[in-house]
Amino acid sequence: MKINPNIIRGYDIRGLVNKDLNEEILENFGKAYGSYMIRHGEYKAIIGHDSRGDSVAYKDAFIRGLISTGMDVIDMGLIMVGTKYWAQYHFNTKSAIMITASHNPKEFNGMKLAKNYSESMILEDLKSLIRQIETEDFVVAKTAGSIKKIDITQEYFNDILQRVKIEKKFKVVVDPSCSTPGAIVPNLLRQAGCEVIESNCNLDPSFPLGVADPTETIVAERLRDKVLETGADLGFSYDSDGDRIGIVDEKGTIIWNDVLVALLALDVLNSHPHSKIMFNTLCSKVVSDTIEKYGGEAFMWRTGHGFLKKKNQEIGAPFIGELSGHFFFSADFYNHDDGCYVTLRLLEYLSRTNQSLNQAISQLPHYISSPEIKLYCDDSKKIALIEKISPILKNDFKDAEVIDDERAGDGVRLEMNDSMFIIRYSQNGPYITIKFEAKTEEKYIQLKKYISNLLHTFIEIEWDNEIRVNVESLE
Calculate mean pLDDT across residues 334-359: 97
Q: Do domains 5-152 and 163-251 have the same CATH topology?
A: yes
Confidence of residue 359 (pLDDT cuts 50, 70, 90): very high
| CATH 3.40.630.30 fits domain 163-251 | no
Closest CA relative to residue 275, chosen from 301, 289, 294, 300: 294
One of 55, 102, 330, 419 is an active-site residue; which one? 102
DSSP state of 151: -
Instruction: Please state which of the ranges 247-251, 336-340, 408-412 shows the lowest mean pLDDT.
Output: 408-412
Are the CB atoms for 97 and 84 separated by under 8 Å?
yes
| Rg from Cα positions in the chain | 22
- H or E segment to which residue 443 belongs: helix 441-455
pLDDT tens column, 259-271: 999 999 999 999 9
Q: Phi, psi (5° rounding) for residue 127?
A: -60, -35
Q: Provide the CATH number for the domain formed by 257-362 in this structure.
A: 3.40.120.10
Pick the CATH number of 5-152 from 1.10.260.40, 3.40.120.10, 2.60.40.10, 3.40.50.150: 3.40.120.10
- pLDDT at residue 305 is higher than 80: no
| CATH 2.60.40.10 fits domain 368-474 | no
What pLDDT was estimated at residue 427? 82
Are the CB atoms for 220 and 244 separated by under 8 Å?
no
User: Which DSSP string do the residues of 324-372 spell out, in sequence order?
Assistant: TS-EE-TTTS-SSB-HHHHHHHHHHHHHHHT--HHHHHHTS---EE---
- pLDDT at residue 306 is higher than 80: no
Are the CB atoms for 166 and 192 separated by under 8 Å?
yes
- pLDDT at residue 408 is higher than 90: no
* Cβ neighbour number for residue 191 with a 10 Å cutoff: 14
**Distances from the Cα of 298 to the Cαs of 76, 90, 260, in angstroms?**
38, 33, 15
| Domain residue ranges in the chain | 5-152, 163-251, 257-362, 368-474
- Percent over 70 (pLDDT), the chain: 100
Mean pLDDT of the chain: 95
Closest CA relative to residue 56, chosen from 164, 169, 180, 236: 180
Are the CB atoms for 234 and 166 separated by under 8 Å?
no
Which residues, in sequence order, are bridge partners of residue 236?
Answer: 174, 247
Clarify whether 102 is annotated catalytic: yes
pLDDT tens column, 192-213: 999 999 999 999 999 999 989 9
Confidence of residue 324 (pLDDT cuts 50, 70, 90): confident
- H or E segment to which residue 288 belongs: helix 285-293
SS3 223: helix
